[in-house]
Structure 1
Amino acid sequence: MTNVAVINYSPHLDYAAMFPDIAGSLQVFSHHELKNTGKLGRYEYVENCESVPYVELMIRRLAREKPFTHLITDNEYDLERAARIREDLGIPGQSSASALSFRDKVVMKQTASRTVRTPRFARLGTIVDLTAFIAENAYPVVVKPVKQGGSRDIVVLRGEEDLIAFSRRPWREDLMAEEFIEGSMYHVDAVLADGYRFVASSRYLRSCLGVFSGQNNGSLQLRPDDAFAVRLEEFLDRVLGAFDTPETGAYHLEVFHAPGDELVFCEIASRVGGDRIPALTRATYGVDLHTAVLRQSCGLPVDPPPSGPPAEVHGSVSILPQGIPVRAPGRPPFDWVRHYEVNEGLEPGAVTTYSASYLCFVIVSGTDTAEVEKRLLEAEAWLMENLEDLPEKVS
């Protein structure tokens, strides 16, 4: 009898719709409050779900009454906890060693370096480790937490002044340094299982780190028959060849296209890509990445991925929180705009805290990557020109 424990993060996933055949067998613990939960076997909103141990305690207690056949999560920060519970309770799925290799960026790069080029890197214990790394590799140097996501808390040190400024911050025990790689960045998003293979490649509109200097963030898809998309897919296979992977998995790979036409590994996660990636994938391919990986992780069937090229591809650009009170405009007046959304929960004057922060975002379509990029830039310019200033609050 199927009994599935679910540790959910996304506020948007509808498990009853994703699992209509076994909704009553799902025991869902959620970081965000969900809608349409009446048909679930169990549903509980847990405040600070990913950081409190309550969920792990409850899953273990529930397993005494009825063993779980599967444990699934959509959250990168729950991968290690989910793997640990699986191993302790004898549930199939990703192992703890595998989860660690996709979470700890030092272990990740050590693993990936077996099959592809990675930036030079080192784990940092003290500031002396950082100065030694700089002395050996020169500026610029990237410093970041080994298990953080969304470009949070990443610092690029470009010279001695940056180093001195960084040394005035409280030291963290979870840092690494790595070589700064010039070039554009691509991402590859995949769901792989026995008899199922879906891979889509895209290019970031700008560097993900650019959001911290005021650059709007975006992504645009490559056509799957594009020669560079084929090359990126081959790179994904080489990367995954170095990792211990579960039978069913979703992957979000980031790759630098460095000078000299070289592909250099950045990072890989064993989960569905965030930001607008799931929406862009649905728009172009009709594939829901979360449904595809979570259902197959429970041994359930899904529709096969499309076999032919799509009629059009898509891209998105997010307008950053401006740090001053502004109101997002209405929908851009272009017939190729496929979706427009305003972040209604954003406080006026909010600042950018991670790469997926947004005041509003737009999704556009086009016949190829070049047309999508042209339209993204046009939509971005229109949105920026039509932001409405709001009065500053008087304290």
Structure 2
Amino acid sequence: MTNIAVINYGPRLDYPAMFPEVADRLHVFSHHELAGTEGLGGYEHVPECEAVPYPELMIRRMARHRPFTHIITDNEYDLERVARMREDLGIPGQSSASALSFRDKVVMKQVARRTVPTARFARLAAFTDLTDFIAERGFPVVVKPVKQGGSRDITVLHHDDELVAFSRRPWREDLMVEEFVKGPMYHVDAVLAPGYRFVASSRYLRSCLGVFSGDNNGSVQLRPDDPFARRLENFLDRVLEAFDTPEAGAYHLEVFHTPEDELVMCEIASRVGGDRIPALTRATYGVDLHTASLRLSCQLPCEPPPADPPAEVHGSVSILPQGRPVRLPDRPPFPWVRHYEVNEQIAPDAVTLYSASHLCFVIVSGVDAAEVERRLLQAEAWLMERIEELPTA
């Protein structure tokens, strides 16, 4: 009989609604407090769940008395420990080696370059590895942790003065360096399983790293019948040919499009994309990426994705924290604004720490990517003009 352990991160996931037929056999340990957990087989809010071993201890102890048929997670930072538990308990699903190849960015690029181009890179065991890489490749370069996400703790070094400044920071043992790749970045979001294939392609409104210099972040969906979307989907297939992949899984691929018209892989994750990606996917395709990928991972039936192209596509833009208290305007008064949401959880004087940091965000619709982008920029300008700075105490 189905018996499922879940290590959850998402604050809004509704597991009874996602798994109605087996909700009483779901045992959920959650980083964030969840609403509507009645009817679950077990639920526990575990502060700092992704960082503490408690849920792993409890799942292993529970399995002694009633074996689990599946162990799943929505969280990238839990992929490796969930894979280890599966292997130890003889449960099917993504292996530890597969999880590592999608988590460690050096291993990831070593695997991916078998089938697609990647930026040149190196693991940094010591600071001299960085200076040697720069001496060979030149500036600019990107330095980042090998297992971090959301553009956290990334540094771009453009010239020697920035290298000198970087050398004054405490050294970390988990870094890599790669050459800077010019060109816009696209993302491809997919759920793949036997008999199920959903792939959607989008372009970031601006560089994800731009948030650290004050650029608002966003995403613009491509129509699935756009020739470039098809090219990106083919690129995803080529990337995945290099990896050991589970029977069912979700993927978030980031791809550079260079001025020379080359596609270069940036990173790929074996999980649902973050930020507004799930909301945009629901708005355009009616597909809930979390529900589809997690149900398929548990070998449960799932509604097939739509076969026909959508009437419209969507995009989002998030307004960055301003580093000072502000009053945000009401919803922009445009008929094509589909959703506007203010982040009630953020501190008034918060600063941008990662690419999904936001005071508020807006989702707009349009017939194609060009119209969506124009409308996003119009909505963004309307919001920025009306942000009101508040006096500080």
Matches within 5 A, 1:298-313: 298-313=298-313
- Structure 2 residue aligned with 1:166: 166
What CA deviation, in whole Å up to 9, does each residue of 1:82-130 have, x standing for no partner?
0000000001000000000000000000000000000000000111000
Give 2:218's aligned residue: 218
Q: Which whole-Å CA distance do the structure 1 matches of 2:230 and 2:7 have between them?
A: 34
Matched, 1:56 2:56: yes
In structure 2, C-alpha distance between the alignment counterparts of 1:50 and 1:260, rounded to whole Å: 41
Q: What one-letter code is carried by the residue in structure 2 that aligns with 1:161?
A: D
**Mapped partners of 1:345, 1:177: distance in 2:** 34
Aligned to 1:135: 135
Q: Which amino acid aligns with 2:88?
A: D
Aligned residues: 393
* Alignment correspondent of 2:95: 95
Offset at 1:163?
A: 0.4
Secondary structure in 1 aligned to 2:29?
Answer: strand
Q: Say which SS state the counterpart of residue 32 (structure 2) adopts.
A: coil
Q: Which residue does the alignment assign to 2:323?
A: 323
Letter in 2 for 1:269: A
SS of structure 2 residue aligned to 1:200 = strand
Give the drift of 1:50: 0.6
1:110 matched to which residue of 2? 110
- Per-residue deviation at 1:219? 0.0
Q: What does residue range 1-395 of structure 1 map to in structure 2 within 5 Å?
A: 1-393=1-393
CA distance in 2, matches of 1:89, 1:42: 20
SS, match of residue 78 in structure 2: helix
Deviation at 1:259, TM superposition (A): 1.1
Runs of 4+ in 1 over 4 A off after TM superposition: none
SS state at 1:198 partner: strand
**Structure 2 CA distance, aligned partners of 1:136 and 1:326?**
46
Query: Partners of 2:363 and 2:264 in 1: how far apart?
Result: 28
Aligned partner of residue 106 in structure 2, secondary structure: helix
* TM-superposed deviation, 1:328: 1.3
What SS does structure 1 have at the residue aligned with 2:71? strand
Q: CA RMSD in A?
A: 0.4
What code does the residue aligned with 1:287 have? Answer: V
- Opposite residue 99 of structure 2, the aligned amino acid is A
Structure 1 regions of 5+ residues with no counterpart?
A: none
Q: Which runs of 5+ in 2 are unaligned?
A: none
* Offset from partner CA, 1:359-395 (integer Å, 9 cap, x none): 00000000000000000000000000000111112xx
| AA aligned opposite 1:312 | E
Q: Among the aligned pairs, what percent are the same residue? A: 78
After TM superposition, the structure 1 stretch with the greater mean CA deviation from structure 2, 321-330 or 129-138, is 321-330
Matches of 2:371 and 2:238, distance apart in 1: 30
TM-score (norm 2): 1.00
